[in-house]
Amino acid sequence: MKYISTRGSAPTLNFDDVLVTGLARDGGLYVPMEWPQFSPADLRRFRNLSYAELAVEVMRPFVEGSIDDASLEAIVKGAYQDFGHPAVAPLKQLDRGLWMMELFHGPTLAFKDYAMQVLGRLFDHVLQQRGERITIVGATSGDTGSAAIEACRDRDAIDIFILFPNNRVSPVQQRQMTTVDAANVHAIALDGHFDDCQDMVKGLFNDLAFRDKMQLSAVNSINWARIMPQITYYFAAAIALGAPDRPVAFSVPSGNFGNVFSGYAAAQMGVPISQLLVGANRNDILARFMTSGTMQMRGVEPSLSPSMDIQVSSNFERLLFDLLDRDGGAVARTLTDFRQTGHFSVSQGQLARAQEMFQGHAVDDATTLARIKATAAATGEIIDPHTAIGIETAVALAANITDPLVSLACAHPAKFPDAVHQASGHYPALPARLADLMERPERLTVLANDSDVVKAFIEEHVTTGGTV
C-alpha cells in the first residue's frame, strides 16, 4: 500500500514510513493512495470472526509490503487480549433501532485504546526491524494522551512527550497521564487550550531541522496508523447488525474528526454506511460546516465534554482532500487561507457531496446532562458526557434515518464523575485496576505556550536520537 499527502508535495511512502513519519513533510496528512475494497461476500465471510480476527482482515491491505501476516496477527492479538470485555467492542440496544457500541473496555477506558494499543506494538515491530528509536510528541484534549502513554510506556526505542491544556482536562484524564512512573514518559501541561497544544505539535514537526534531530513521530490522529485500527469497529458493528444486506448509520461525538473519519474510511471500503452523524458540543465548528459548507473558527469554550473542546479539527483535512477531488495544492491553499482568515467555504456541489453521508448536530451542556439523566432512567445505562452527545445527536436526527443507528460510547463514565453525578446523582466507580488512581503521585511539567521552551524541554529530556 502506498500513501500520499493531502497537500500533494510530500514523498509517497509505504506504511512503515508513514507510521514513523506521522505528519507529512509538507504539513499534510497521509492517506491511502486508494481505498482497499471488500465485497459483500467478504463481509458475510467476516460474520463469525472474533474482533481481533476481523481487525487483521481490515488492516492487512493497509500494511501490505511493510508488515507480514504473522507479525500483524501477533500485534493485533496482543493489543486486544487484555481488554475488559470478551467482545472487545460490545453492542447494547438502547431503543428500537438505536444501539450503543461500548468503546471503553481498554486499559485507559476510552476509544483511543482501540488504536493506540495496536500503534504501540506497530512501533515496536518497525523500530526493532530498523534498529532505530523515535521521539513521540503528541497533543491531547484528554483521552489520546493517556492511551498513548499506556501504549508506549517503558518501550526501549521510544521517548514520549504528551502536551495537554493546563486545567482543561478532567482530573481522571490528567492522572491517567501524570501518574505513570516510566522514565520515557513526559506529561506536559501547556498554558492554553487544546488547539494551542495541537498547533505546538504541528509547529515542532514543521521545524524540519528539529524534527530530524529529535527523530520526531506522532501518535495523534494525524498519524494514519491511528485512524486505521478504528475502522475495524465500524466493520464489526455493521456486520453484527446485518451488513452487507442492511445499511447501518452511526452517530459519533467528534472533536478532531478522526473517529468519524474512520467511519468514512469504512464506507469507502465497502461497508454499507448510510449516514455518519457528527455530534458536537458548544464548540460546534464541525456541525456548522455540515449545514453551511463554511468552516468558521471561533474561540474555544470549556464544556462538560472537554475532549471535544476543539475549533481546528485536524482530521477534517482528510475529508477535505476528497471533497476537493484529491487536489493537494487546493487543500494547501484552502488551509493556509483558513489559518490567516479563520474561515473557508466549499462550493455548493462539494457541500452536497459531504451531506450525502454527513449530518451535524450541536448539543449544549444542559442538554448533555438531560441526556445522561434520561438514558439512566430509561435503560439503566450510565454514560459519560461525550457519549451523551452522540446519543442526543442520534435521537435528534433519527427521524430521517430508517436504518439501524449505532451511537459510539467513547469513554467510561468514571472519567467524568462530576458531570455524571450532576446529571444522575450517581458517582460512577473506576474499575478495580484504577481504584487508587486519585491517590497516586503525579509527575508533570507546566510549560508556557512557547515553542522555544517546549523544544528546550524535549532536548533536555530525550534519551537519544537515531539508532538504538
CB 23 within 8 A of CB 205: yes
In the chain, what percentage of residues exceed pLDDT 90? 91
pTM of the model: 0.92
DSSP three-state, residue 373: helix
Measured at the CA of 254, the angle between CA 251 and CA 259, to 5 degrees, comes to 80
The whole-number average pLDDT for the span 65-90 is 97
Average pLDDT score over residue span 93-108? 97
Q: Is 112 a catalytic residue?
A: yes
- 242 C-beta neighbours (distance < 10 Å), count: 15
SS3 437: helix
From 250, 221, 231, select the one nearest 141 (Cα to Cα).
221
Closest CA to 392 of 411, 369, 415, 410: 369
pLDDT, tens digit, 9 for 90 and up, residues 382-417? 999 999 999 999 999 999 899 999 999 999 999 999
**Residue 256, burial from CB neighbour count under 10 angstroms (0-12, 13-18, 19+):** buried
Class of the domain covering 91-109+224-424: alpha beta
What's the whole-number average pLDDT of the chain? 95
Asked if pLDDT for residue 79 goes beyond 60, the answer is yes
Tens of pLDDT along 227-238?
999 999 999 999
453484527: which residue's cell? 240
Residue 379 phi, psi dihedral angles, 5° rounding: -125, -15
**Catalytic option among 112, 213, 415, 455:** 112
159 DSSP β-pair partners: 135
- The cell numbers describing 228, all together, are 486505521
**Residues 269, 231: contact at Cβ < 8 Å?**
yes
Beta strand extents in 66-213 (DSSP E only): 91-95, 98-102, 134-139, 158-165, 185-190
pLDDT surpasses 90 at 447: yes
For the chain, the structural domain boundaries read 91-109+224-424
Average pLDDT over residues 246-271: 97
Residue 257's pLDDT band, with cuts at 50, 70 and 90, is very high
Q: What is the pLDDT of residue 3?
A: 98
- What is the Rg, in whole angstroms, of the alpha carbon atoms belonging to the chain? 20
Closest CA to 315 of 349, 274, 358, 347: 358
Give mean pLDDT, residues 22-37.
Answer: 96
